[in-house]
Chains A and B, each alone.
Chain A
Amino acid sequence: MKKILQNIYLTLIIIFLYAPIATLVVLSFNDSKTRSKWGGFTGKWYISLFKDDAIMNALYTTLIIALLSALIATVIGTAASLGIQAMHRRYRTFMMGVTNIPMLNADIVTGISLMLLFVACRFTMGFSTILMAHITFNIPYVILSVMPKLRQTNKHTYEAAMDLGASPVYAFFKVVFPDILPGVLSGFLLAFTMSLDDFVITHFTKGPGVDTLSTKIYSEVRKGIRPEMYALSTIMFVSVLLLLILINMNPSGKGHDKARAEKTMSNRRRFGRVLMTRVVPAVLTIVVIAGGFFYASRTNISGKEQVVVYNWGEYLDPQVIKMFEEETGISVVYEEYETNEIMYPKIQSGAIAYDVVCPSDYMIQRMIENDLLAEINWDNIPNIKNMDETYMKQSQQFDPGNKYSVPYCWGTVGILYNKTMVDEPIDSWSVLWDEKYKDNILMQDSVRDAFAVALKYLGYSLNSTDLDELNEARNLLIEQKPLVQAYVVDQVRDKMIGNEAAIGVIYSGEAIYTQWENPDLEYVIPKEGSNVWIDSWVIPKNAPNKENAEKFINFVCRPDIALMNFEFITYSTPNKAARALIEDPDIRNSEIAFPSSEQLADCETFRFLGDKNDAVYNELWREVKSK
């Protein structure tokens, strides 16, 4: 009876631990791109995974960092354990205290402290900084698994070996090392796993173009994870699981003679040990190194011309990059960001030099005002003739004289609603304050967008700097908070497709895609007016490859490329030649993608309001969020 209860308890815990993993495995076979919809069984992600350079690169970086950091940490850590063991008690306590710091310290503090160090030392953030950070937090795991084993070793055997004429090194490897080997191995394995699983510390110490799986996934979280990620995780998990089962296989059958069972057991264990100590590391090393060469040969060939592009997440068809590389021979280093506010400090600090960036209107104005942008040489961008004049004119609002920016995408902010979940026709922001839809509303999780909604609803300008108006908007947002299901950025898309909410505030470009996936959804620009925005390519002043940057911008302005891109990201293109090429008239004349000028009558473009007003907005937003 007691045994049964124990087994039930164990089973429940295992279910708890492995339920999310099972979910991910199931998702890896899901035909639909969105997480929240089951589109039938497919194995295609497993195939496209191996063709996806970005993911395979991240995987390779992850593995090689895990392997190198675990190896180096094991060497330093094991040596350190031996040294610490020989120390006087007081120093030993001190050293163990220091060792405990990275273990106990919050990841976020460790990550930030290392970032501050790297910035102060003017290290370029990249592969090596991540590696150093990982070694730092891996060493303690090694020390903490070697120390207990070391304590159990018998001092006298070592001394005896020395008495019999062995040199200290020889005696160590013959006598001490075999005893502590299990500790060293488990330390290595642990370090490897921890490095593999780390996100926070990598997040703070990474540079552009370098991604581990974790940071890659984090940048995808807001847009929706690509299913290839699930497939990759499933492969990794299953291979480790198989390995473990192999090593720990139990002698099967209950009727077995116990002695025999024990004998096979020990055979298996010996086999397992050989596997653990020889085969696994060998296979791992081969895979990582081979993978490294393979993907290194396909991507960054050193000494070649390159251009560093810093763009919004999922905002460019990867095929476009490939075609650009093939046609021009310039290799593209591609890095993504989630919001303007995250991008800005990176450019401003100048720690990382990008060639092409794609900020929004108000952020471009801010960058111009702070003298961060280089003037574009229009002679190098003949394809600008394809651009609709309207958008060049509109750009003058934030870029007077069209000196710095080339329009890339534009759109509006509006309400996406589920026709089956709302009763009345929706045409006003007021629906976001309707008690009926409590817990069914998705609100934008960025300062300016959230305040724009409230300010417009109140009838004010969304560029208001009037404190009374802003306070009124803040109070309105606080009033709204109990009704809001979640504050999200790009997750609105997946959640609305999955029928998680009735109403969401969304960018028009996402609306078309959501309608493809879920025909019950409808998009509307509220009658009070809204935000109309333009994202444009700009070149930072410190760009090292300005001419390549211009070649890149010119390339994406080509009608066929702009069309390809529009079909991939579904954000409205300002490229009139590309629009003319759209085959489907429903889309070419779609009011969502290309709203008429009447619909845009009350819409405004964001302007940069100055650092002081920015701080006011941020402060008010924090008050809303923490209420």
Chain B
Amino acid sequence: MLKNKRKLLAGPYLFWAASFIIIPLLMIVYYGLTDKEGGFTLLNLAKITEPENLKALGLAVLLSFVSTVICLLLAYPLAMILSRRNVNQTSFVVLIFILPMWMNFLLRTLAWQNLLEKTGVINSVLKFFHLPGWEIINTPGAIILGMVYNFLPFMVLPIYNVLAKIDKDVISAARDLGAGNMQTFMKIILPLSVPGIISGITMVFVPALTTFVISDLLGGSKILLIGNVIEQEFKQGSNWNVGSGLSLVLMIFIIASMALIAKYDKEGEGTAF
């Protein structure tokens, strides 16, 4: 009886989620599967097979994959170091990674232009020491850097959270039973941190895959990613049907990541915050 009443508390959210999450997604499905006159068509989905779009998608997958790997490699040791520090500092650690978000995301990305440009800060320093310049701006490398920079916190925080939750006694037990550092890591720590890793991977990969701002600002508009193509369809080409069709294709990746989370992180341990 009481439990039933408590369930009602989810009512407003259920209503909200239905109107602002589910219905909008259905709208995309509708637009994606119809043409301008409203007739059913699969042509919008087929647009993805055009060589330019396929290339944009392929490049987006490649760049976001590389960024995700780099993020993981950077974040895991970082999360391990942080999780072994003073436990009381948890909120501080989290805030160090959230703090940059108080400066606008666009401005931060734009600041990278200043740092990376041919006459930018980094190259001026290199030149001062008579070192060869670093020509990275307007290349895929700069886009990867921008992705790693923007999404690193989303990899660090979930891994940090699962690592901090690991019971110290489990590790002590492993050591008592004669496991070395490597063995403890491989057999205890790594498996226990899988939910965090999975959550981190999805939270980096998906936004990186679909970004259009980072590629615009750091790629000099020379490199077209799938996010740029979709944005142009909506905002410039004003062909909403094709844009929705391409968004539908992107959703495949989102569904895949949801499936991953459902499999490895059933209890929501690996949440970022």
Q: Please report A residues at the B interface, Cβ cutoff 8 Å.
A: 6, 9-10, 13-14, 16-21, 23-24, 27, 35-36, 76-77, 79-80, 82-87, 93, 95-110, 112-117, 120, 132-133, 135-136, 139, 141, 143-145, 147-148, 151, 168, 186-187, 190, 193-194, 196-197, 199-200, 204, 213-214, 217-218, 221, 225, 229-230, 233, 236-237, 240-241, 244, 248, 265, 269, 339, 341-342, 344-345, 348, 439, 445, 481, 484-488, 498-500, 618, 622-623, 625-626
Contacts and interface: CB of A to CB of B under 8 A. Distances in A.
Interface stretch (B38-46, B112-120, B171-179, B187-195): B112-120
Nearest to A340: B236
A106 B227 contact: yes
Q: Is chain A's interface secondary structure helix, strand, loop, or mixed overall?
A: helix
Interface residues of B, number: 109
A9 B75 CA distance: 11
A187 B3 CA distance: 24
Interface string B213-252: 1000100111010010111001111101001100100110
Given A112-B28, A248-B92, A499-B119, A190 B238 contact: no
A79 B13 contact: yes
Contact of B27 (A116, A214, A218, A625): A116
Contacts of B97: 17
B115 A23 contact: yes
A200 B221 contact: no
B81 A9 contact: yes
Contact of A136 (B2, B9, B16): B16
A498 B222 contact: no
Nearest to B261: A100
Interface-centre pick from A339, A345, A445 (highest chain B CB count, 10 A): A345
A80 B27 contact: no
B271 to A, nearest CB: 5
Nearest to A99: B17
A164 to B, nearest CB: 15
Given A79-B10, A109-B250, A248 B89 contact: yes
A109 B25 CA distance: 8
B114 to A, nearest CB: 5
B114 A80 contact: no
Given A342-B236, A487-B220, A106 B108 contact: no
A486 B103 contact: no
Contacts of A221: 106, 110, 217
Contacts of B110: 35, 221, 225
19 contacts: A6-B81, A16-B152, A79-B12, A80-B13, A83-B13, A85-B6, A97-B258, A101-B21, A106-B227, A108-B247, A109-B210, A117-B23, A141-B273, A199-B213, A221-B217, A225-B110, A236-B103, A265-B88, A625-B52
Contact of A486 (B112, B220, B234): B220
A106 B250 contact: yes
Given A104-B202, A341-B236, A144 B271 contact: yes
A80 B10 contact: yes
Given A214-B104, A500-B117, A83 B262 contact: no
B66 interface: no
B24 A114 contact: yes
Nearest to B18: A98
Nearest to A197: B101
A200 B109 CA distance: 14
Interface in B46-63: 51-53, 55-56
B130 interface: no
B271 A148 contact: yes
Contacts of B10: 79-80, 82-84, 87, 95
A213 B237 CA distance: 26
B22 interface: yes
A500 B138 CA distance: 12
Contacts of B3: 86
Nearest to A269: B88
B207 A106 contact: yes
Given A17-B97, A499-B119, A113 B102 contact: no
Nearest to A234: B103
Contacts of A133: 20
A349 B98 CA distance: 39
B186 interface: no
A485 B220 CA distance: 7
B111 A117 contact: no
Nearest to A266: B88
Interface in B145-204: 149, 152, 202-203
Nearest to A147: B268
A101 B100 contact: no
Contacts of B213: 199-200, 218
B69 interface: no
Contacts of B134: none
Nearest to B145: A16
A445 B268 contact: no
A24 B115 contact: no
A93 B261 CA distance: 11
A151 B267 CA distance: 10
Contact of B268 (A96, A196, A240): A96
Contact of A106 (B2, B88, B210): B210
